[in-house]
């Protein structure tokens, strides 16, 4: 199974934000859209991903002042991405190794989607359920 199979099952809209946007505005957008992360972009270039976790760390470190800071000030230094033809196993490995919960999906150098750890877990559980049903049906048919 590939990352593309996850993207086909979910809403393809990716919410982006400018790196100069305040953290307070980013939290409002996350709340309005019901998402845990936003992709910071300049044109077609991905600058980073700001997540709820990054915002909590900023507030813990800078206090209330953090809300007036630009998102760019708290973006993680490294952007971990994935392609649509990469396996779900590879996505899980990247998320675990780099301790990230979202992976931007890049096609021809452009953002085409985002895969979260929740998406990966949901997809994996569906695969396991299908496999269990096939095994059960095979067992019943063999009796």
Confidence of residue 49 (pLDDT cuts 50, 70, 90): very high
Confidence of residue 71 (pLDDT cuts 50, 70, 90): very high
CB neighbours (10 Å) of residue 3? 24
Confidence of residue 10 (pLDDT cuts 50, 70, 90): confident
Number of domains the chain contains: 1
pLDDT score of 124: 81
Residue 79: phi, psi to the nearest 5? -105, 120
Domain that holds residue 45: 3-142
Confidence of residue 129 (pLDDT cuts 50, 70, 90): confident
- Span 50-76, mean pLDDT? 96
In degrees to the nearest 10, what's the CA dihedral of 30, 36, 40, 44?
-100
* CATH code of the domain in which 111 resides: 3.10.580.10
């Amino acid at each position: 199974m590939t990352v593309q199979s996850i993207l086909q099952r979910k809403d393809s809209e990716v919410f982006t934000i400018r790196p100069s946007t305040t953290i307070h505005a980013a939290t409002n957008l996350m709340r309005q859209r019901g998402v845990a992360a936003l992709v910071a972009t300049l044109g077609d270039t991905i600058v980073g991903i700001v997540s709820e976790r990054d915002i909590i760390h900023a507030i813990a470190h800078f206090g209330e002042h953090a809300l007036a800071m630009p998102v760019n000030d708290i973006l993680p230094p490294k952007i971990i991405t994935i392609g649509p033809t990469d396996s779900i196993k590879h996505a899980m490995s990247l998320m675990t190794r780099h301790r990230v919960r979202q992976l931007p999906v890049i096609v021809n150098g452009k953002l085409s989607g985002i895969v979260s750890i929740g998406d990966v877990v949901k997809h994996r559980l569906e695969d396991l359920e299908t496999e269990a049903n096939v095994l059960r049906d095979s067992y019943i048919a063999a009796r």
